[in-house]
């Protein structure tokens, strides 16, 4: 059984588009169940073979196989920026109200790419949720600055309801990984899914 975060429509769509391509690989497992949950799951306690997670892995005892990544944007509403000003440098984010998408990790830092360098910028969370749609709603309401996957905010960026920030100096992305507890005693189901995943996400 494989578990994924609830706001994973993007990833499910990619999976379903490729299922017919790899039927023979998945047939070895006979049956694979994919569940979406509105929270982070405990693999061992809840009996999952693996989970698919968006964001950095907090638990170093687990194995994470990166299979894809999603582009992200730092955004805020025009009303928020008019009232609080626009950050001009990544360090300015520490002085603003951050809306923290907790699938990124428990620590209040946002990964920003500047060329080949990754900067972990500390932020000041005023609100957090593990559901990107809730964070998006808070940003639209003018409650702060959010770091969100582009697939969740594409329409809002196009309409101007949300404005991208720091686009000249940073590039943002989050990994999508299959996380599982051990390389030993891997079930037939998990082995088939791990073999299937590279095909699933090949562009």
44 shares a domain with 139: no
Most confident of the ranges 43-47, 49-53, 136-140, 180-184:
136-140
Q: Are residues 118 and 133 in the same domain?
A: yes
**Percentage of the chain with pLDDT > 90?**
25
The residue with greater pLDDT, 198 or 192, is 192
Q: Which residues of 84-114 are buried (b: 16+ CB within 10 A; e: fewer)?
A: eeebeebeebeebbbbbbbbbbeebbbbbee
Residues 12, 54: one domain? yes
Q: Are residues 188 and 146 in the same domain?
A: no
| Structural domain harbouring 31 | 2-68+175-200
pTM of the model: 0.69
Q: Mapped to the 3 state alphabet, what secondary structure does 119-142 carry?
A: EEEECEEEEEECCHHHHHHHHHCC
CB 163 within 8 A of CB 87: no
In this structure, the answer to whether residues 161 and 183 fall within a common structural domain is no
Lowest mean pLDDT among 36-40, 56-60, 81-85: 36-40
With left for phi above 0 and alpha for psi between -120 and 50, is residue 31 left, alpha or beta? beta
Query: Do 55 and 117 reside in the same domain of the chain?
Result: no
Residues 91 and 43 placed together within one structural domain of the fold: no
Structure tokens at 97: 């109200």
Number of domains in the chain: 2
Average pLDDT over residues 61-81: 87
Together in a domain, 78 and 62: no
Backbone angles phi, psi at 62, to 5 degrees: -95, 160
Does residue 152 share a domain with residue 86?
A: yes
* Strand residues in the chain grouped as ranges (E): 2-5, 34-37, 50-54, 63-76, 97-101, 109-114, 117-122, 124-129, 145-149, 163-165, 172-180
pLDDT number for residue 64: 79
Which of 15-24, 89-98, 119-128: highest mean pLDDT? 89-98
Are residue 45 and residue 13 in the same domain, yes or no?
A: yes
Q: Do 80 and 169 belong together in one domain?
A: yes
Residue 123: CATH number of its domain: 3.40.190.10
**Considering only CA atoms, which of 191, 203, 190 is closest in space to residue 47?**
190
Residue 203 has pLDDT above 50, yes or no: no
The reply to whether 84 and 56 lie within a common domain is no
Q: 142 pLDDT band (50/70/90 cuts)? A: very high
């Amino acid at each position: 059984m494989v578990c994924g975060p609830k706001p994973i429509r993007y990833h499910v769509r990619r999976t379903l588009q490729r299922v017919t391509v790899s039927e023979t690989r998945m047939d070895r497992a006979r049956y694979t169940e994919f569940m979406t949950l509105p929270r982070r799951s405990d693999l061992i306690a809840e009996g999952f073979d693996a989970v698919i997670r968006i964001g950095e892995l907090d638990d170093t005892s687990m194995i994470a196989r990166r299979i894809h990544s999603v582009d992200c944007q730092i955004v805020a509403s025009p009303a928020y920026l008019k009232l609080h000003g626009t950050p001009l440098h990544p360090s300015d984010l520490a002085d603003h109200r951050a809306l923290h998408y907790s699938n990124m990790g428990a620590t209040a830092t946002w990964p920003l790419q500047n060329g080949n360098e990754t900067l972990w910028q500390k932020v000041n969370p005023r609100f957090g949720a593990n559901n990107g749609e809730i964070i998006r709603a808070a940003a639209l309401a003018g409650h702060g600055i959010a770091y969100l996957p582009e697939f969740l905010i594409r329409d809002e960026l196009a309409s101007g309801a949300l404005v991208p920030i720091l686009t000249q100096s940073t590039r943002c992305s989050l990994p999508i990984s299959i996380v599982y507890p051990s390389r030993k005693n891997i079930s037939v189901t998990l082995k088939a899914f791990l073999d299937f995943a590279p095909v699933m996400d090949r562009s």
